[in-house]
Amino acid sequence: MPAMTRLRQTTPSDAPVPLDGTGRLDDEVELGFVSGFFGVRGEVRLHLHNRESTLLAKPHPVVLVSPAGKRHRATLQSRSGAGKRVIGRIGGIQYRDQSEVYKDWRIVVPRADLPDLDEDEFYLSDLEGMPVWIDGEHRGTIRAIHATGPIEVLELDLGDKEPDFVPCKHEVIEIDFEAGVVHVAAEALARS
């Protein structure tokens, strides 16, 4: 009777590694998030806040942050998919069941990894926590930014039980980084 060989599952050296701490750190900027999986070979679908960025054209070190705040160090590379899709490969992930784990995880990198911005550009994460002014009156802060497709949505904490939401569009908001405030058009406020 032939001897049975036990197969041992190995972990690639570039597989995601758990890190200490929770959430996005102060010196990190969010690039986007894993929106789903793609195919059977472990690729993922990505929502990137700046689709034109070439930062992930080659494998780049990133931190993946779970919805619960767990952090994993990983490498990530992106490529164009059909239509407007962006497809990514997380280092060490080879199968669909491995990639499914990372759905809805945020992709962050140290701010030092990013290129310098032009004068009229900013990172969405810079808006979080900024004071909100409506009709010349301080009313609250920006609680979070939500990627909902082609336009990001600002979640405002105006002291109500339910948050208010406004699209991140020039017609609705005016950002004054020098004063450190965001002016929101009162007519743009909408309840969810």
Number of domains in the chain: 2
- Average the pLDDT over 1-19 and give the result: 62
Q: Other CB atoms closer than 10 Å to residue 4's CB: what's the count?
A: 6
Q: What is the spatial distance between Cα 16 and Cα 92, in angstroms, rounded to a whole number?
A: 7
Residue 12 inside a domain? The answer is: no
pTM for the whole structure? 0.71
User: For position 50, which CATH number holds?
Assistant: 2.40.30.60
Q: Which of 79, 113, 147 is the last residue of a domain?
A: 113
Q: 85 vs 122, which has greater pLDDT? A: 85
Q: Are residues 105 and 180 in the same domain?
A: no
**42-101, pLDDT tens digit by residue?**
999 998 888 788 899 999 999 999 999 999 999 999 998 877 789 999 999 999 999 999
Q: Are residues 150 and 180 in the same domain?
A: yes
Could you tell me the residue range of the domain that residue 149 belongs to?
Answer: 124-191
Alpha carbon separation from 142 to 26, 52, 79 (Å, rounded): 16, 26, 32
- Look over the chain and give the mean of its residue pLDDT values, rounded to a whole number: 86
User: For position 145, which CATH number holds?
Assistant: 2.30.30.240
Q: Are residues 143 and 104 in the same domain?
A: no
Give pLDDT, residue 12: 60
Closest residue by Cα to residue 92 from 106, 80, 76, 107: 76
Q: Are residues 58 and 135 in the same domain?
A: no
Q: Are residues 146 and 84 in the same domain?
A: no
Give pLDDT, residue 11: 53
Q: Which of 58, 79, 113 is the last residue of a domain?
A: 113
Q: Are residues 62 and 104 in the same domain?
A: yes
| Beta strands in the chain, from DSSP E residues, in sequence order | 17-19, 28-38, 43-48, 60-65, 71-80, 86-90, 106-110, 131-134, 137-147, 152-157, 164-167, 173-176, 181-184, 190-191
